[in-house]
Chains A and B, each alone.
Chain A
Amino acid sequence: MSNIISVKDMSLWYGDHQALKNVNIEIPEKSITAFIGPSGCGKSTFLKTLNRMNDLIPGVKITGDIRYEGTDIFSKEVDVNNLRKEIGMVFQKPNPFPMSIYDNIAYGPRTHGITNKVELDEIVERALRDAAIWDETKDRLKKNALGMSGGQQQRLCIARALAVQPNILLMDEPTSALDPISTSRIEELVVELKEKYTIVMVTHNMQQAVRVSDYTAFFLLGELVEFDKTDDIFSQPRDKRTEDYITGRFG
């Protein structure tokens, strides 16, 4: 299995505060990688660096090398909008646009120049099917997305991200605002999605990492402490700090 993202000696500062220190990681393709660690450890910051959403925050400085399919994502030749099309994102809080379900899904494809109605219809249906929410939405595509439940909204947001046909899906604690039933539906969905997509997921829930991920990275105070197969991390961590964290001694 090849690596789709490789990061070398990457550091990040918010003004004077160093939020990430010398992170090195290779993220394998078509698998689920989970980032775990206590609040403020830099796992979300790192995730948002991968699709350059951190560029939007004033005062951010990034050093080191991040490559997506071999290309430096910060190089001048890279079109950031195209990068974000390839590396989609699902946020912590479900954030559908205040528009119809259909328009939410069609937003991305339309932005990237698809105007043909038949083609859009197909994309919308495929995205909603892939996100396992087609049956619940097919009769009310013209209804406002804000009328759905939180769990449905989050699956809609996943569908919206899928509609631009990304390679990678970044998920920033996608279930933290959801109830247990919605959470398990999203977890099932994520496992199905790894057939087609590479998934990188921040979670504060270690059980969730165990349940769904193939690889786990443990962050602490801006450092990537340990990165390995999920089974290995949770059964025989090499670092004492990882062991302390997963056995619940802190965090």
Chain B
Amino acid sequence: MKKSQLMEKLIHGIFLVLGLITVGCVLLITVYLVISGIPAIREIGLVDFLFGKEWASTASEPKYGILPFILTSVYGTAGAILIGVPIGFMTAVYLSKLASPKVKSVMQSAVSLLAGIPSVVYGLVGMLVLVPGIRKIFDVPDGASLLAAIIVLAIMILPSIIKMSITALDAVPKEYEDASLALGATPIETYFKVSVPAAKSGIAAAVVLGVGRAIGEAMAVMMVAGNVPNMPDSLFQSVRFLTTAVSSEMAYSSGLQRQALFSIALVLFLFIMLTGATLNFFLKREKE
């Protein structure tokens, strides 16, 4: 009896330690980012750093304004949401409510497959197909642009949006739909007036999840966005995102430049935390 109790406690302890490893990693990253991100912001000045329109880290008189990156990330994400959410949402309604079981299972595997494709492959296809395509269709000198990044991101966030929306729509009690049909509403009216409103928190969470995915993506956008620190004045401008700003200079950076990259990472981290908090808010509301 005593031995088994001891065993029980031991196993309990092991699980606790394993759990703490994850929490520890998060804490470590947070603390590290804050500590290493703050010095550069202090030196450059918060306003100049966040709202400076020019990034010239290797110039003889370096400038460290990251507004181009922030705006690019915000526009890029917003654009991806604008394109990806309607497509993803409609797909989810179709798969959850209208599709036959056979179609549903085939299309859901396709969606899962889309989620499993590495982002470098998205980037590659974007480079080879999308970038030349944009150059030809819109007759611009270079297709590597904000628009290319938006399209790639829109496709990349589809799986998260579709899967999460399906989960929310599938969870709508059938009784609601029966009640609506019994009142003489058509199935389509029922899905849009009863099922979707009943699943709205879950669908909102799906959108936020998409935002998180889009804002954190680095590899694919680096390959298709041109990666030049311009202000994103037009869809056809070559631009650089917050993520790619860090990754493209990190290898050869030093001194204040390197510290500024950490500061960019900190800003990105805050964005991600914000979307995470929003996501939690919606998920909690969904449960209630």
Contact = CB atoms under 8 A, between A and B. Distances in A.
A107 B175 contact: no
With a 10 A CB-CB cut-off, give which of B179, B182, B193 has the most chain A CB atoms. Answer: B182
Interface stretch (A11-19, A82-90, A226-234, A235-243): A82-90
Contact of B198 (A82, A97, A164): A97
Among B175, B184, B186, the most chain A Cβ lie within 10 Å of the Cβ of B184
B36 interface: no
| Top 8 A-B residue pairs of the complex, sorted by shortest distance between their CB atoms | A85-B184, A95-B175, A89-B182, A108-B183, A84-B184, A111-B185, A81-B184, A95-B179
Interface in B156-199: 173, 175-176, 178-186, 189, 193-194, 197-198
A95 B183 contact: no
Interface in A96-119: 96-99, 107-108, 111-112
Given A98-B198, A99-B197, A111-B193, A81 B179 contact: no
Interface residues of B, number: 17
A161 interface: yes
B182 A161 contact: yes
A83 B182 CA distance: 9
A107 B178 contact: no
A103 B197 CA distance: 12
A5 interface: no
A8 to B, nearest CB: 24
Contacts of B184: 81-85, 108, 111-112, 164
A83 B179 CA distance: 14
A98 B286 CA distance: 12
Given A95-B173, A111-B189, 20 more contacts: A53-B178, A53-B181, A53-B182, A85-B184, A88-B182, A95-B178, A97-B179, A97-B180, A98-B197, A99-B197, A107-B180, A107-B185, A107-B194, A108-B184, A111-B184, A111-B193, A112-B184, A161-B183, A164-B183, A164-B184
A56 interface: yes
Nearest to A109: B183
Interface residues of A, number: 25
B182 A51 contact: yes
A94 B280 CA distance: 31
Interface in A206-238: none
A95 B176 contact: yes
A96 B182 CA distance: 12
Interface string B190-226: 0001100110000000000000000000000000000
Contacts of B176: 95, 97-98
A149 to B, nearest CB: 17
A48 B178 CA distance: 11
Contacts of B182: 51, 53, 84, 88-89, 91, 161
Contacts of B179: 91, 95-97, 157, 160
A97 B183 contact: no
Interface in A65-79: none
A108 B184 CA distance: 7
Nearest to B179: A95
B203 to A, nearest CB: 14
Nearest to B200: A98
A112 B185 CA distance: 8
Contacts of B183: 84-85, 88, 107-108, 111, 160-161, 164
